[in-house]
A and B are shown apart, each in its own frame.
Chain A
Amino acid sequence: MKNLIQRLVETTGPSGYEQDVRALVRGEIEKHADEIRVDAMGNLIARKGAATTKSATQGKRIMISAHMDEIGVIATHIDKNGFIRFTNLGGVYPRNCVGGRVRFLNGTSGVIGQEKAGAQEAKPLSEMYIDVGATGEKDCPVSIGDVAAFDRPFTDLGDRLVAKAMDDRIGVAVGIETLKGLKKTPHEVYFVFSVQEEVGLRGATTSAYGVDPDIGLAIDVTGSGDTPNGLRMEVGLGKGPAIKVRDGGMLSDPRVIEWMVAAAKKAKLPYQLEILEGGTTDARAIQLARAGVPVGCLSIPCRYVHTPSEMVDYNDVRNGVALLVELLSRPIDLG
């Protein structure tokens, strides 16, 4: 699975431009899904489990969403000396930028710098630029509107894995492995590899309308409170996948939490309960689709979220897959 994770995180796919990630995911799941389609927004939707009348009466229609996009940047202006001005796609923070490298979809690499080079503090993005080695507008291989993402290789530290775009390729990897591991299910499960999460859950909004599920789950990263003077948060790396209770935009359905906790206990899998103060996931968009959907979220604890070096624990990832397979293999009674 580490090999799959490496290939996923090293693919460039900022919000709205997820096609390379989509191609990779499709190649992985093609043999395992009963049906695959891509909707108008570019969401990859894979069904597992028969869509017959009989199964519809016994099982549930379940949407599992993991987003393919990562935070990135977009060129706004090429100045007369060939420096590229840019703005963010999603939550790119200035303090993580200077000296960092980005890669455009056309393969061009660049370094981020900022005006008044000696300054100690990070400037706003409007006072930063990307240097791709061009000397003027004419020899600049990047045009206005071109997009890029952070460029950083995958690092395997043993149990701990570090990369850019763990948010949320690690969720994508969990989704792929769950689909592969799910030999039989009484349900109609739609694995949605969604787009444009980082700019406002847009892919999940439209795919949830299209799938119209009975139950929804997101797979995404969450923060952790186990670093020096870190977040005030119970979640830590290596203590199991987190079952979300709430975040800044969503309250998990208590019946879904209970279902997830009971399954973890029964399968003797480690888990932790997550309360995140800020941020949210695709689960929020699913919950608010049409007339409303009971939702929850399986989170992979992650340090340094939205930096080019996001860290997760491999055991949490594998236990996350095991928990999802357990959840989707048996009948569900939410009461």
Chain B
Amino acid sequence: MANLKIGSTQIKLLENLCGTLGVSGHEVKVRKLILEELGDLGAEHTVDALGNLLVTRKGTRRGRRLRVMVAAHMDEVGLMVSGDDKDGIYKFEVVGGLSAAQLVGKPVVVGKELIPGVIGFKPIHLTTASERSSGVSLDSLRIDTGGAGNGKVKIGDRAAFAPYFAVLGSGRTRALRAKALDDRIGVASLIELVRNAPENIDLLAAFTTQEEIGVRGAQVAAHAFDPDLAVVLDCSPAHDLPHWDDDEENTRYNTRLGAGPALYVADKGTLSDPRLVRHFTATAGEAGVPFQFRQAGGGGTDASAIHKVRAGIPSISVSVPGRYLHTAASIVRVSDWQNTLRLVHAALSGMNPSLLNTERV
């Protein structure tokens, strides 16, 4: 197995990726950063009409090589400025899966210049008991830049949570806290895979756009690549917390931190190809990498678009488990990230054309 490790270089790269503003539809800065990172490789690349960055690294092994698309989405959930209330205060709409509860009191950055602001809220001194017990509506919230936005912020500008990247703890449970780990951690992993591309396959790396608003970029990226199969790298929610209110077993955690990469069998959008599920679990066994199955249920990844493209593309998703996704600060474990990268690299390195010779069973 390649000695893929998550060290200070990779963590610094992830910090830079998470610190970049890339709300769905405006992924240009993330794309630029990826291109800078991959610049010295001389890999063939194109940027398509939807802004997807498509990088091809052909294998060197002779004979037929599988053409494997590996996708990670560049965009993050965030906000779009929709109205100017004067004095640096702005109305906004949400982009992707966010609700008022995640927004109240959070520092944000607005527009290309990353103008700092905050989603303000009436302080507790001034609220009544009934106000405190009722929910918050999105309509009642504003972004307040304290005047810094005057003349600079325009309607249509994106805003995202302000980055506060941190490495938490050390050893087995060492963790990373950041906004936009969904899916910059997949992007960071895909950059590592392009740098360490296996010789046995043609690696078709798709850094996709607009995943959070309906897996839009991946659909056209898959059509263009027309691959033999696809692997999607994402970050999936972990709700592996104790039940605080009773003694019941937590049966709906989705994924768990520390249990390794989460393999998807079924979510709302995709039934993973069983041949790929078996290939990944067998690879994990051989490589001694722990893994978990993400609990079947709702949600979806770029795979939901990719697998239905053209006459069908066998697909699977593999993700790093992360707590508190789609909030101002998520948490992932370094060990899960490293094990995900190792498993995916080992699985790609073990892919031969015979993988798809049998019918889907």
Chain A interface (Cβ within 8 Å of chain B)? 15-17, 19, 22, 38-43, 74-77, 79-80, 85, 87, 89, 126, 144-145, 147, 196, 199, 202-203, 205-207, 209-210
| Residue of A with least CB distance to B266 | A74
Shortest A247–chain B CB gap in Å is: 21
Interface of A (DSSP majority class): mixed
Q: Within 8 Å of chain A (Cβ to Cβ): is B274?
A: yes
Q: Which residues of A contact B266 (CB under 8 A)?
A: 16, 74, 89, 145, 147
- Of B16-24, B29-37, B289-297, the one contacting chain A is B289-297
In chain B, positions 101-154 with a C-beta closer than 8 Å to chain A are none
B360 contacts partner chain A, Cβ-Cβ < 8 Å: yes
Contacting residue for B314 out of A19, A40, A87, A203, CB 8 A:
A40
Which one of B3-11, B161-169, B303-311, B317-325 is at the interface? B303-311
* Contact between A76 and B252, CB atoms less than 8 A apart: yes
A74-B360 in contact (CB<8A):
no
| B residues neighboring A (CB under 8 Å) | 249, 251-253, 265-266, 271, 274, 277, 293, 295-297, 307-314, 356, 359-361
Query: Mind listing 6 A-B residue pairs with CB under 8 Å?
Result: A40-B314, A77-B251, A79-B249, A89-B266, A206-B309, A206-B312
Q: Which residue of A lies closest to B356 (CB)?
A: A40
- Could you say which residues of chain B place their CB within 8 Å of the CB of A39? 311-312
Are A79 and B251 interface neighbours, CB within 8 A? yes
When A89-B266, A206-B310, A206-B312 are in contact, do A38 and B252 touch as well, CB less than 8 Å? no
Flag if A144 contacts B293 (CB, 8 Å).
yes
Closest to A195 in B: B360
Contact between chains at A145 and B307 (CB < 8 Å):
no
CB contacts (< 8 Å) of A38 on chain B: these are 359-360
A76 touches B312 (CB 8 A): no
On chain A, the residues within 8 Å of B274 by CB distance are 16-17
Question: Is B311 within 8 A of A77, CB to CB?
Answer: no
Contact: B295 with A77, CB < 8 Å?
yes
- The reply to whether A77 and B271 form a contact with Cβ atoms under 8 Å apart is no
A210-B313 Cα distance, complex, nearest whole Å: 12
Q: Which residues of B contact A15 (CB under 8 A)?
A: 271
Residues of A within 8 A of B360 (CB): 19, 38, 40-42
Structural contact, B311 and A76, CB atoms closer than 8 A = no
- Bound: A19/B361 CA distance, A: 6
Q: Which residues of A contact B265 (CB under 8 A)?
A: 74, 144-145
**Contacts A38-B359, A38-B360 hold; do A210 and B293 have CB atoms under 8 A apart?**
no
Residue in contact with B312 in the complex, picked from A41, A85, A126, CB distance below 8 Å = A41
Chain A residues near B307: list those with CB within 8 A: 41, 202
Residues of B within 8 A of A89 (CB): 266, 271
Contacts of B310 in A (CB 8 A): 206, 209-210
The interface centre, meaning the residue of A39, A43, A77, A147 with most chain B CB atoms within 10 A of its CB, is: A77
Could you say which residues of chain A place their CB within 8 Å of the CB of B314? 40-41
Please name the residue on chain B nearest to A81 by beta carbon.
B249
A77 nearest CB across to chain B (Å): 5
Q: Is the CB of A144 within 8 A of B312?
A: no
Closest to A115 in B: B248
Q: Which of A41, A85, A145, A147 has the most CB of B within 10 A?
A: A145
| Distance of A316 from chain B, by nearest CB (Å) | 31
- The reply to whether A87 and B296 form a contact with Cβ atoms under 8 Å apart is yes
Q: Taking CB as reference atom, which chain B residue is nearest A22?
A: B359
Please report the C-alpha to C-alpha distance between residue A79 and residue B243 in the assembled complex, in whole angstroms.
15
Beta-carbon contact of A40 and B252 below 8 Å: no
Ranked 6 nearest A-B pairs via Cβ: A16-B271, A206-B312, A210-B311, A42-B360, A41-B312, A145-B265
Determine which of B293, B297, B311 lies in contact with A209 in the assembled complex, contact meaning CB atoms within 8 Å: B311
User: Given the complex of chains A and B, what is the CA–CA distance between A85 and B359 in angstroms?
Assistant: 30
Q: Is the CB of B296 within 8 A of A210?
A: no
Q: Which residues of B contact A199 (CB under 8 A)?
A: 271
Closest chain A CB from B239 CB (angstroms): 12
Cα A223 to Cα B356 with chains together (Å): 39
Residue pair B252, A126 in contact (C-beta under 8 Å): yes
Tell me the bound Cα distance from A206 to B223 in angstroms. Answer: 12
Can you name the residue of chain A whose Cβ is closest to the Cβ of B265? A145
The minimal Cβ–Cβ distance linking A282 to chain B, given in whole angstroms, is 13
User: In the complex, what distance in Å separates the CA atom of A154 from the CA atom of B57?
Assistant: 54
Nearest to A211 among chain B residues (CB) is: B311
Instruction: Please give the distance in Å from B361's CB to the nearest CB on chain A.
Output: 4
Docked pose: A209 CA to B226 CA in angstroms: 13
Task: State whether A74 and B252 are in contact (beta carbons under 8 Å apart), knowing that A40-B314, A205-B308, A206-B308 are contacts in the complex.
Answer: no
Complex alpha-carbon distance, A206 and B311, angstroms: 4
Looking at B266, B312, B361, which has the most chain A CB atoms within 10 Å of its CB? B312
Find chain A residues with CB under 8 A from B311 CB: 39-40, 206-207, 209-210
B251 touching A145, Cβ below 8 Å = no
